Structure 1
């Protein structure tokens, strides 16, 4: 075979190898391009801002409480016995002196009758002894005349005087006994009067703890028969304020609260009492703060649970910013502190620090009393990084 033909055949034999190598390099190069395209990304910073506005800044103490009548009267029984009649029930409107229940009066009426009889006996005994005294005095006077003429002996005269003195003492004893019997009669009549369970005030019965036929025992302690709320048009909310917040509470602080029965209605009241008696439950110390509220429509009922907001301080129509703004600072910058309070704003697409003079602060807003901040400035409260990845398809 000529040399040229041999060289040509050799080139034809190597050509597939060359093509394969080129193809491998192309594929390898394409894979490299894919990896680079997928790893290429651009990173930018996004700011979360909140506009400075003019509005209200309110500092509150949040707690819970229970709705109760301002004055609840406990009606009990001084005497024991069986409930014979009952004239009041739940929600009964009562007046002062109205009979709500009656204990069987027969045992106490018997005691009154006996005391009257004893008193009558004592009065009769007094009349008898007074008659004896009259005779003893007359006999003594007669013997006093006769003894001077020795018509009677000295012993008879002394005996007449003794009888007179005894009769006089007996009359005094009878008079004292009448007073004692009269006192016993008065006590029996008082006990008889206690068999009528009466209302001491005008109000509404909110609790009844007895039924007809029930035996009331008042030997050791006075049993509670009725609870009467004097005026349901005036209510109070008894709240428990922690010792960490009690220092901010003042008399006449405004209060807003809601109850589950009227979740869309806000009730208003005022602080009328801060009780000095602490309550400790599981090492947590709280104080009872009493809130008075009008209840003219009788919507509030005793025992309701109230979610209470006690307003300890407030500012109206002031420039305010979000409280988070004073805790933000860009990377590499010092945070705001009490000596140099400042916030960061976006102006002309760039960050700028603005010093402010803070006033009343809450968890939500901070009052701005002075500085270069204006209403409408976009104050930065946070930032977040957003990564956008550009992925490309492989190209051969």
Structure 2
């Protein structure tokens, strides 16, 4: 019974297959788009961070307790303006000690100058007495030695005064450093100090304030991969958006392509700096920017969609659509629909922006229906 059943099933399956193959026909429907004229823009898309063009770190050279703070976030400061003050009393004591030591050194100089005058007179007197044999030669030698020592002491006193003046000047400088001042005109964008806080400048200068010199012009520091960096040049136009204004494109320009590579997880990138105006202060430091850098563009050129360059009729078994033009350069074969029949056309490609490809040469014109795909529809035969 089982062999007979299998035989009947096979015969039935063959009959159904024959019915569908004979009674139905395949109808190919071509999906087309028009060849158009328009711009082609090749761009590199990357992400970056919005930063002020120049940010100055305001720190402290001396250690101590913050006695007063005069600047806060968003404070507009001017060059030389005091932003904070360290308790100056320990440094004032050192200045006072330096002044006292300098006064002692100057007084010692006056004393030794008077001693020099006496030693000179004694030496001259003994010279005359020796000639009259009133004193011994040893007395003359002793007065000569005292006179020479008095002269040397004057030089030592003058050097001591110079040393005390230098130490006093250093103490006055340190006292001046207790005033934390802004070195530039700008806006305070960061503050990391409070009144009563102790700051230590023993090994590394602590940063107390960050001052941005001009927030009306910002820059975007982007990370461009090594595969795209070769196409980017100074002066390239760019646009970017930030999450706060997703529908507002900001315009900018590449002002610097830095040579220093950054390697993160074996991925090499380069920092590309884009300047952008910020007259309305919409851009804030630290914002994440999605950036589009234009590396090449064409205006009002004949163009075809990229899907057309990847299409090959299924009836041809899907061979490559790359051909060789008469000029010997790499060219592409596309298919256009003329009177319902696909016809191959060899074109010379130009700029490609991943959506459209420029047609430099080829028997195409705007409005031609170019095939980008096909659909196979099965219909019942009328016979």
What TM-score comes out, normalization by structure 1 length?
A: 0.87
Structure 1 Cα separation of the partners of residues 323 and 95 of structure 2: 82
Cα deviation per residue 1:163-184 (whole Å; 9 max; x = unaligned)?
1111111111111100000001
Whether 2:300 is the aligned partner of 1:327: answer: no
Contact 1:115 1:185 in 2 (8 A): yes
Alignment size in residue pairs: 358
Whether 2:152 is the aligned partner of 1:169: answer: yes
Going from structure 1 to structure 2, the CA distance change for 1:355 and 1:179 (only over 3 Å counts) comes to same
How far apart are residue 389 of structure 1 and its match?
A: 6.3
Cα deviation per residue 1:166-206 (whole Å; 9 max; x = unaligned)?
11111111111000000010000000000000001111100
SS at match of 2:281: coil
Which of 224, 229, 241 is 2:212 aligned to?
A: 229
Cα deviation per residue 1:241-289 (whole Å; 9 max; x = unaligned)?
1111111111111111111111111111111111111111111111111
Structure 2 Cα separation of the partners of residues 179 and 338 of structure 1: 88
Which of 45, 50, 53 is 2:28 aligned to?
A: 45
How far apart are residue 227 of structure 1 and its match?
A: 0.5
Q: Which residue is equivalent to 1:368?
A: 359
Q: Which residue is equivalent to 2:95?
A: 112
Which of 66, 73, 89 is 1:83 aligned to?
A: 66
Which of 160, 172, 177 is 1:189 aligned to?
A: 172
Whether 2:249 is the aligned partner of 1:266: answer: yes
How far apart are residue 121 of structure 1 and its match?
A: 0.3
Paired residues for 1:135-214 under 5 Å:
135-214=118-197
Contact 2:323 2:346 in 1 (8 A): no
Which of 265, 273, 280 is 1:290 aligned to?
A: 273
Which of 365, 369, 373 is 1:382 aligned to?
A: 373
Structure with max Cα Rg: 1
Structure 2 Cα separation of the partners of residues 389 and 233 of structure 1: 71
Going from structure 1 to structure 2, the CA distance change for 1:389 and 1:187 (only over 3 Å counts) comes to farther
Structure 2 Cα separation of the partners of residues 370 and 158 of structure 1: 112
Contact 1:328 1:335 in 2 (8 A): no
Cα deviation per residue 1:337-387 (whole Å; 9 max; x = unaligned)?
151522111112221122222111121110011221010111101111123
How far apart are residue 324 of structure 1 and its match?
A: 1.2
How far apart are residue 388 of structure 1 and its match?
A: 4.6
Q: Which residue is equivalent to 1:336?
A: 321
Cα deviation per residue 1:24-77 (whole Å; 9 max; x = unaligned)?
xxxxxxxx99x969x954432111111111101111111100000111101110
Does 303-312 or 150-159 show the bigger shift?
150-159
Cα deviation per residue 1:61-109 (whole Å; 9 max; x = unaligned)?
1110000011110111000000000010000111111100000000000
Structure 2 Cα separation of the partners of residues 282 and 219 of structure 1: 35
Structure 2 Cα separation of the partners of residues 61 and 167 of structure 1: 82
SS at match of 1:59: strand
Going from structure 1 to structure 2, the CA distance change for 1:389 and 1:199 (only over 3 Å counts) comes to farther
> Which structure 1 residue ranges, 5 or more long, are not aligned?
1-31, 391-396
Contact 2:351 2:357 in 1 (8 A): yes
Does 265-274 or 103-112 show the bigger shift?
265-274
Contact 1:232 1:298 in 2 (8 A): yes
Which of 331, 341, 345 is 1:350 aligned to?
A: 341
Structure 1 Cα separation of the partners of residues 356 and 32 of structure 2: 14
